[in-house]
Amino acid sequence: MTHKQLSSVLIANRGEIALRIVRACQELGVTSVVAYSEADRDTLAVKLADKAVCIGPASSAKSYQDPRAIISAALAYKVDAIHPGYGFLSEKPDFVEMCEAEGVGFVGPAASIIRSMGDKIEAKKIARRAGVPVVPGSDGAIDDYDQAVAVARDVGYPLLIKASAGGGGRGMRVVESAETLESDLAQIMSEAETAFGDRSVYLERYLTDIRHIEIQVMSDGDSTVHFGERDCTAQRRNQKLVEEAPSPVLDPQLREQLAAASVALCREVAYRNAGTVEFVFDNIERQFYFIEMNTRIQVEHPVSEMVSGIDLIKLQLEIAAGNPLPFAQEDISIRGHAIECRINAEDPAEGFRPSPGRIETFRAPGGFGVRLDSHVESGYTIPPFYDSMIGKLIVWGNDRDEAISRALRALNEMHVEGITTTAALHAAILDSEVFRSGRFNTAFVADFLSSE
């Protein structure tokens, strides 16, 4: 079969991921068109892209999250496909349907797959059908208090109420005992309605000694390969802070089981393009349970790139062009250890209050095994309208100890003046005995913060 190539791509995102996609396009010889809001005119992605188009005002509802603004730009620039990055329109099936109707390619799976996986209740049903273990809980949506009581009797406390449309660490609530079940249920339903426009919720057992482990997959519609796991146990408020690969706790047999479960799930839906199958891993039982699938590239994809040596964004573009996977599972080998720190413009001493503003000076770390995926530079002003992540520091080492030392060295080398970042907190976390031991659970960061 002859190799197919996209001639141009519209990048419907901002910040580090827009820049990441520009770089992949350049290496492939694909014309990159960055869609930017009025607040992002002076950003690195706009400067480095082949073309840039303003799609609206600062408010993301009227720019990055406005399907019509994005589709109009794609049609005006006659691009072959839209790369949505993560967040914004990346998991919006209605938007993907619009692309399909307009004949514009979408770098991701079909709308129907995004719709079923984006509904967490439906995703769990598909996982069960594929023989993948899921967290014990309700079989489907919980419509009222009586139903919740019945499930709680089987599952026990503590319980977790989750919004079916939740994401980004939002739309979850722990119920400690039967006393608050009714009020917690009412509250999360109304929060879900406001935040996601969908009040469907479900119940899960709240597992207390767990790690978050996920599998990176890539499919061409026929076959699926995986790139091993990422361990994202270091979280704050259910949001990832530090990610690493491989996981410090898996043995080869469990690793194989997780990967096989993820590939089976992809096969069940004839998955296409990049995806991540997320699991919680019970430290005591050493048993894993599916929680959700993200049908897009993830923030932490670089750790898998560093240990596999494969550029996942280029691979996404190759598959979106209509090419089959260029290699088989046995061609992928995982080498060494990678760690990513999400650096945010936030002040940990002030309850992680966002710290937007002008970066007077920015010194990027460098050297062997150090990668900085960031859109910031000296003189750049972080706008207050978006996510506070200013970049990701990713390091590679021959083993976990070397990766930790290298991350600490690079964090120390990085120098940001003018705003407050979470870099020093990352250094403290990585340097802690608990992190170094590799033995912790999702409560680790909260415990660490309260002990400081």
In the chain, what is the straight-line distance between the N-terminal and C-terminal CA atoms, in Å? Answer: 59
Q: Tell me how far, at minimum, the Cβ of 317 lies from Mg ion, in Å.
A: 24
- The answer to whether the CB of 85 falls within 8 A of the CB of 12 is yes
Q: Tell me how far, at minimum, the Cβ of 390 lies from ligand ADP, in Å.
A: 13
Q: Which is nearer to Mg ion, 184 or 278 (CB)?
A: 278
- The answer to whether the CB of 249 falls within 8 A of the CB of 193 is no
Alpha helices in 49-84 (DSSP H): 67-76
CA dihedral (36, 42, 47, 48) positive or negative: negative
Q: Which residue is nearest to ligand ADP (CB)?
A: 167
- The answer to whether the CB of 37 falls within 8 A of the CB of 63 is yes
Q: Residue 86 to residues 108, 248, 328, 400: CA-CA distances in angstroms?
A: 11, 26, 26, 28
Binding residues for ligand ADP restricted to 175-204, rule: CB under 6 A: 204
Of 14, 173, 205, 296, the active-site residue reads 296
Q: Tell me how far, at minimum, the Cβ of 292 lies from ligand ADP, in Å.
A: 4
* Interacting partner of 244 out of Mg ion, ligand ADP, none (Cβ under 5 to 8 A depending on kind): none
Among 292, 311, 346, 373, binds ligand ADP (CB under 6 A): 292
Of 123, 126, 100, 119, the C-alpha closest to 111 is 100
The SS3 of residue 429 is helix
Residue 296 annotated as catalytic: yes
Q: Tell me how far, at minimum, the Cβ of 87 lies from ligand ADP, in Å.
A: 3
* Choices 55-63, 108-116, 203-211, 271-279; region in contact with Mg ion by CB under 5 A: 271-279
Of 206, 37, 178, the C-alpha closest to 11 is 37
37 lies in the site for ligand ADP, by CB under 6 A: no
Please state, in angstroms and rounded to a whole number, the distance separating the CA atoms of residues 236 and 448: 10
238 lies in the site for ligand ADP, by CB under 6 A: yes
* Interacting partner of 115 out of Mg ion, ligand ADP, none (Cβ under 5 to 8 A depending on kind): none
Q: Which is nearer to ligand ADP, 362 or 444 (CB)?
A: 444
Of 109, 99, 118, the C-alpha closest to 10 is 99
Q: Which is nearer to Mg ion, 169 or 324 (CB)?
A: 169
* Interacting partner of 229 out of ligand ADP, Mg ion, none (Cβ under 5 to 8 A depending on kind): none
Alpha helices in 130-251 (DSSP H): 145-155, 178-196
Please state, in angstroms and rounded to a whole number, the distance separating the CA atoms of residues 167 and 173: 13
Task: Please count the other Cβ atoms lying within 10 Å of the Cβ belonging to residue 283.
Answer: 18
87 lies in the site for ligand ADP, by CB under 6 A: yes
Residues 89-128, one symbol each (x = binds ligand ADP by CB under 6 A, - = not), give ----------------------------------------
Residues 6+ apart with CB under 8 A from 222: 324
Q: Which is nearer to ligand ADP, 155 or 263 (CB)?
A: 155
Q: Tell me how far, at minimum, the Cβ of 276 lies from ligand ADP, in Å.
A: 7
CA dihedral (430, 433, 439, 442) positive or negative: negative
168 lies in the site for ligand ADP, by CB under 6 A: yes
Question: How many residues bind to Mg ion according to rule CB under 5 A?
Answer: 1
The SS3 of residue 349 is helix
Please state, in angstroms and rounded to a whole number, the distance separating the CA atoms of residues 322 and 221: 10
Please state, in angstroms and rounded to a whole number, the distance separating the CA atoms of residues 54 and 210: 44
261 lies in the site for ligand ADP, by CB under 6 A: no
Partner residues linked to 117 by β-bridges:
none
* Choices 142-150, 292-300, 400-408, 420-428; region in contact with ligand ADP by CB under 6 A: 292-300
* Interacting partner of 217 out of ligand ADP, Mg ion, none (Cβ under 5 to 8 A depending on kind): none
Q: Tell me how far, at minimum, the Cβ of 238 lies from Mg ion, in Å.
A: 8
Binding residues for Mg ion restricted to 15-44, rule: CB under 5 A: none
277 lies in the site for ligand ADP, by CB under 6 A: no
Token pair 């706790």 in the structure block, residue: 249
- The answer to whether the CB of 177 falls within 8 A of the CB of 237 is no
240 lies in the site for ligand ADP, by CB under 6 A: yes
Q: Which is nearer to ligand ADP, 166 or 365 (CB)?
A: 166
- The answer to whether the CB of 203 falls within 8 A of the CB of 155 is yes
Q: Tell me how far, at minimum, the Cβ of 292 lies from Mg ion, in Å.
A: 5
Of 262, 364, 244, the C-alpha closest to 304 is 244
* Choices 111-119, 182-190, 252-260, 272-280; region in contact with Mg ion by CB under 5 A: 272-280
Residues in the chain: 452
Helices and strands, counts by H and E, the chain: 15, 22
Among 16, 40, 300, 346, binds ligand ADP (CB under 6 A): 300
* Interacting partner of 169 out of Mg ion, ligand ADP, none (Cβ under 5 to 8 A depending on kind): ligand ADP
169 lies in the site for ligand ADP, by CB under 6 A: yes
- By CB under 5 A, name the binding residues for Mg ion: 278
Residues belonging to the active site? 296
- By CB under 6 A, name the binding residues for ligand ADP: 86-87, 135, 160, 166-169, 204-207, 210, 212, 235, 238-240, 278, 280, 291-292, 294, 298-300, 387, 442
